[in-house]
């Protein structure tokens, strides 16, 4: 099916979910990934309560975080690299084990927990988040400073997001919306969207099977490249723009999404219908969430 060609899977998260669903306690008495994750999140919650911190929990990843300063630029959902400063501490001892100052870091080199945490802050912002070891260095650790199964506290300042293609995509989409007198909500990831109907059912997350009617068009010329009715997908299997856009509505709702190529099919496209670096428009009726 055309729409699923070239999809970007949230590999780390879905792999972790698979491990959770299939793993059990090892014969040597060590915890399964699922039980380790649960154990560490209980420690995190106890730490947060003891410190009297006001935190939030991401429903997709279960990451605990608190935004100190939201910032005003874009979020690094489709970054090539970032410039940042941060400290890393062990939750158990509060010992600082890493200090990084004003460093440019390739986005794909960041651990999974950091990528999740940075979804909630924009350029110029700062955030604290708590990373269980399955989202960090797991049962191996990282050198002498970060032991196996270490729960980490990150205090992170996001100075700049380097994402040349995304910025070009955003400019193109914003010009299109202005030229056609179309209002749209500007998400800091670069997604633009209109909620036609908010819906009244459940919000989807990455683990939800969504039942949808949809049509996809190229923003450049309006050509329809795909469309289906009453079809089901695992939301986590779809392009990043859907990960961000669909949770903005509930079951029974309708949304129009203007998706930058960086949050879609990227520099490869999905030949022959979707060229490289193509910005997309999706009209989606969210019929159900399972």
In the structure, what pLDDT confidence band is assigned to residue 238 with cuts at 50, 70 and 90? very high
% pLDDT > 90, the chain: 86
Q: What is the mean pLDDT of residues 49-61?
A: 95
- Neighbouring CB atoms inside 10 A of 249's CB total 23
Find the range with the poorest average confidence among 68-77, 137-146, 190-199, 256-265: 137-146
33-51 and 11-22 are packed helices; what angle lies between their axes, rounded to 10 degrees? 110
Domains and CATH numbers, the chain: 31-162 (3.10.50.40), 164-289 (3.10.50.40)
pTM of the model: 0.86
User: 37 Cβ partners below 8 Å, 6+ apart?
Assistant: 16, 20, 62, 132, 134
Give yes or no for residue 14 having a pLDDT over 70.
Answer: no
pLDDT at 31: 84
Strand, helix or coil for residue 280: strand
Residues 70-99, mean pLDDT to the nearest whole number: 97
Give 9's pLDDT tier (boundaries 50, 70, 90): very low
Backbone angles phi, psi at 118, to 5 degrees: -75, -10
Q: What is the per-residue pLDDT for 143?
A: 83
pLDDT, one tens digit per residue, over 134-173 is 999 999 999 889 999 999 999 999 999 999 999 999 999 9
């Amino acid at each position: 099916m055309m729409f699923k060609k070239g999809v970007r899977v949230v590999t780390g998260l879905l792999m972790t979910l698979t491990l959770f669903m299939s793993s059990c306690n090892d014969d040597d008495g060590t915890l399964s990934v699922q039980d380790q994750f649960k154990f560490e999140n209980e420690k995190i919650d106890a730490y947060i309560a003891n410190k009297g911190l006001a935190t939030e929990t991401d429903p997709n990843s279960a990451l605990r975080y608190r935004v100190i300063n939201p910032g005003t630029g874009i979020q690094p959902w489709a970054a090539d690299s970032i410039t940042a400063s941060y400290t890393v501490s062990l939750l158990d001892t509060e010992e600082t084990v890493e200090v990084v100052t004003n460093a440019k870091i390739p986005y794909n080199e960041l651990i999974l927990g950091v990528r999740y945490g940075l979804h909630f802050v924009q350029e110029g912002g700062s955030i604290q988040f708590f990373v269980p070891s399955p989202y960090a260095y797991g049962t191996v650790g990282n050198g002498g400073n970060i032991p196996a199964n270490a729960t980490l506290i990150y205090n992170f300042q996001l100075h700049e997001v380097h994402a040349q293609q995304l910025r070009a995509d955003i400019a193109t989409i914003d010009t299109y919306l202005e030229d056609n007198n179309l209002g749209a909500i500007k998400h800091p990831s670069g997604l633009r969207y209109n909620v036609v109907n908010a819906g009244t059912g459940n919000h989807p997350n990455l683990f939800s099977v969504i039942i949808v009617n949809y049509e996809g068009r190229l923003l450049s010329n309006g050509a329809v490249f795909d469309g289906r009715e009453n079809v089901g997908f695992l939301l986590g299997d779809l392009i990043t723009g859907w990960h961000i856009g669909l949770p903005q509505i509930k079951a029974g709702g309708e949304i129009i999404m203007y998706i930058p190529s960086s949050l879609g099919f990227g520099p490869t496209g999905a030949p022959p219908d979707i060229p490289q670096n193509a910005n997309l428009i999706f009209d989606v009726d969210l019929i159900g969430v399972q």
